[in-house]
Amino acid sequence: MHTSEHDEYAFTQDRQLPGAELGWVKGFVVFLAWVVLWRASFLLAYGPFASIWYPPAGLTFAAILLYGWRGIIPVVAASYVTAYWIDHMYGLNSEFISWLFTATSSTMAHTFSYAIGALFLRQFITMNVIRSLPSIIFGFLVLGVITSLLAAFFGVQVQISSGSLSIFNLYEDWLMRWVGDMVGVLVLAPLFIALLSWKTPVYSAWIRHLRISTQPTPMYHYLIKLSVNLGMLYLFIVVAWWFENTDAAFAVFFLVIPQMWIAYTENAFRAVLSLAIFSVSLALGVAWFGLAEVAMIYQFAICVIACTVYFGLAVPMLLAQSNTLQYQANTDHLTGVSNRRYFIETLEEELARSRQGKYPVALALFDIRKFRAINNAYGHEIGDKLLVKVANNIQIELRQSDLLGRFSGNAFILCLPSLNVDSATRFVEHLGNQLRYITLEEFTEALNVRYATIEVAESESVDEALARLQQEISGAP
């Protein structure tokens, strides 16, 4: 394979889900985890087939998103096992044909619903329909809500047809099941995705493309934040239990503050892990204190907090990208000072403020003469080093209000607010004398620097002032 063909192949593969291979070991892990999580949800149920969260929903979504249609296989196997378990748990003793029909219907309702959302999201990612972290988060949340709604609706229909649920409680049972499934998907699916793809190319690819932070703080910092979060959670749960007032349960929404604290200061995995720990702790608290009547308030609180945290994870990345792009757009890549475009834009704003505030603005131009000869004699690398050193020496002498820009290849321009032409000229002469003695190890000659200074007139435009400044330096010795 030629190099170009190899690079093209690698690039194509990189945009897919590399490393998301479902072998027998991982398939069995998904199967076993699904059964264990299903049982855990029943232990913390607060109503018929309703739990604070339904972890298997999140695992199903994660498995199908990572492995495609192959991810359905361990989920289907686990669904049949749990269907058999339910039949014996409730002493239904159904006939085989009846049990098979109910188990198949229930399995199809669950897997078909989550396959729709997970496969759509998988396709959107592999086809680059959605590429950035915020768009993936938005797609995941929308599809997670819709697919959990479908799974709850179809699941309730199956249970009504089998006689497990009464049609008279359809709305209540459907709503409880939908919110529980939604919590399972929105809160736990990202954690399951991270765990299933850990130390695989797909995990590395997502970290790289989405620019998710992987740098953790010291573990004790994380544990302190987690302890504060869980301590406040159980304080609010005890208050709701003590006062026996449903309104007190709404205090749990304030826990978005410590969760966002974790999201902004920890890496993405720890933020997602804290959400999972938070949801498990909340489910345990509802079970221990018998708060079934306010369970749905807690469920919606978990969903709202999770959505807020996920978008909170994207904010630092967006700010970093915005700052990087802004720096690249406004800065000369060699010297680190303002480029010509940004300098002129800033100068226009400064002149507008100066005319309102009635203070002077001076401009100065430094030109390194015979710079092309230096490049030809010593090489462009030495010439670049000289430009960087000139820029650094000027920057050191400037006030915070001053602005330095690279005007052309070998010329730098200064904006000096609140200085008249006399004060600015003395300052520029001081700088010019310093610049003449700049040397490098490879360049020991004295720099030939000429400079000029003007004060911008009140009626003068930026273009007119710059033209006058260039005329001044043309006549400089």
Which helix (H) or strand (E) segment holds residue 271: the answer is helix 268-289
User: Which CATH number do you get for residue 376?
Assistant: 3.30.70.270
Residue 79 has phi, psi (to 5 degrees) of -65, -40
Type of residue at 136: I
CA-CA distances (angstroms) from residue 144 to 50, 162, 188? 18, 27, 11
| Residue 344 domain flag | yes
286 and 385 inside one domain = no
Asked whether residue 397 falls in the same domain as residue 312, the answer is no
Residues 409 and 425 in one domain: yes
Determine contact, residues 60/114, Cβ cutoff 8 Å. Answer: yes
Cβ contacts of 387 within 8 Å, gap of 6 or more: 334, 335, 368, 410
Confidence (pLDDT) at 83: 86
Task: Mention every residue, 6+ apart, whose C-beta is less than 8 A from residue 302.
Answer: 52, 53, 183, 186, 187, 278, 279, 282
User: Residue 164: its pLDDT value, please?
Assistant: 63
335 occurs within a structural domain: no
pLDDT, one tens digit for every residue, the chain (477 residues): 344 433 333 333 334 454 457 788 889 999 999 999 998 887 777 665 667 788 999 999 999 998 988 899 999 999 999 988 887 776 767 788 888 888 899 899 999 999 999 999 988 887 777 767 778 888 899 999 999 999 988 888 877 776 666 665 556 677 888 888 999 999 999 999 888 887 766 556 665 555 565 567 889 999 999 999 999 999 999 999 998 888 899 999 999 999 999 988 888 888 899 999 999 999 889 888 988 888 889 989 999 999 999 888 777 666 666 777 777 888 898 999 999 999 999 999 999 999 998 999 999 999 988 888 888 888 889 889 999 999 999 999 998 889 999 998 889 999 999 999 999 999 999 998 888 888 787 877 888 889 999 999 988 999 999 999 999 888 666
Residue range of the domain that includes 256: 215-330
For 222, residues 6+ apart whose C-beta sits below 8 A from its C-beta are 216, 262, 266, 270
User: How far are the Cα atoms of 2, 87, 421 from residue 8, in angstroms, in the given order?
Assistant: 10, 53, 59
Q: Are residues 307 and 181 in the same domain?
A: no
> How many domains does the chain fold into?
3
| Domain match, 188 and 276 both | no
pTM over 0.75: no
Q: What sign does the CA torsion over 408, 409, 410, 413 have?
A: positive
User: Phi and psi (nearest 5°) for 11?
Assistant: -65, -45
In this structure, the answer to whether residues 221 and 346 fall within a common structural domain is no
In a domain, 283, yes or no: yes
